[in-house]
Amino acid sequence: MDVPMDVLTDVKVASLAERPEMVERVLEMPDSWPEFITQDPVGNAHYPRIAHELPQYVQFAEDAHGEIVAHAHSVPFALHAEGRGALPARGWDEVLVWAFSDLRRGAVPDTVSAISVVVAPHAQGRGLSALMLSAMRDNARALGFREVVAPVRPSAKHLEPRTPMAAYAHRLRPDGLPHDPWLRVHARAGAVVDSVAPASMTVAGSLEQWRAWTGLPFDSAGDVEVPGALVPVRCEPDHDRAVYVEPNVWMRHAL
């Protein structure tokens, strides 16, 4: 993978297993997620557990000034356990549930799933996302895994929320690489598109909650385009609710 040399020389990458004293600083690093994205109950129940229960699956980048500028979370799970085998339609949510169910039961994992790659807002545009993806892949390989999968949230899909994800995910540039920048980073690392996870994350709330999360009125029935959302949010004033069901793109990295 091509990563700018200034990034390679400017930051140090470590895992929380190697440096457990950094856990709070890693988790407190600023991010640029839209507010509504942080309201997924499955994510809220499981994502914070990764750093504490699976610290070897959290890598972070520290710059020359000792500031945390990026981190990557992943989880091990048993993809090929009985009743599984295919990457789940409920994507990000489902793989978190599987991973912590497997951990509780002592199931032997056979695959690693990416969960997030987050770059601090002021450090974006320096190639850190590619660096952290590479660190995640290297970590999985070092732990004996042969595949990393990723429920990818395409970074430019929010610019065209009404385009079907299946069409968007397979759109290519003239050079044969994906149109989407984040899908392209994965492809350059050797990943291939497996499938669309049509219900990778679900956020539901009252209209008042959605107004607070987005600053939008949410007063008309139908689909509402929300900044940062990959697809429209379904608004149902008669029931005082709105629901966002986000599709992601499953990509597979052979190691």
pLDDT tens per residue, range 56-90: 999 999 999 999 999 999 999 999 999 999 999 99
Instruction: For the chain, give the number of residues.
Output: 255
What Cα–Cα distance (Å) separates residue 33 from each residue in 5, 69, 71, 138? 27, 15, 14, 26
Question: What DSSP letter does each residue of 101-123 carry, written as one string?
Answer: HHHHHTPPP-EEEEEEEEE-GGG
Q: What are 136-185's pLDDT values in tens digits?
A: 999 999 999 999 999 999 999 999 999 999 999 999 999 999 999 999 99
- 20-42: pLDDT as tens digits: 999 999 999 999 999 999 999 99
Judging by beta carbons within 10 Å of its beta carbon (0-12, 13-18, 19+), is residue 92 exposed, middle or buried?
buried
Planar angle of CA 72, 46, 199, nearest 5 degrees:
85
Q: Which two tokens stand for residue 218?
A: 């949410």
Roughly how many angstroms between the first and final C-alpha of the chain, as a whole number?
Answer: 13
Residues 6+ apart with CB under 8 A from 191: 150, 251, 252, 253
Closest CA to 227 of 210, 251, 248, 205: 210
pTM of the entire structure?
0.94
Confidence of residue 10 (pLDDT cuts 50, 70, 90): confident
CB burial class (10 A; 0-12, 13-18, 19+) of residue 235? buried
Evaluated on CA atoms 217, 218, 221, 224, the torsion sign reads positive
**Residues 106-134, mean pLDDT to the nearest whole number:** 96
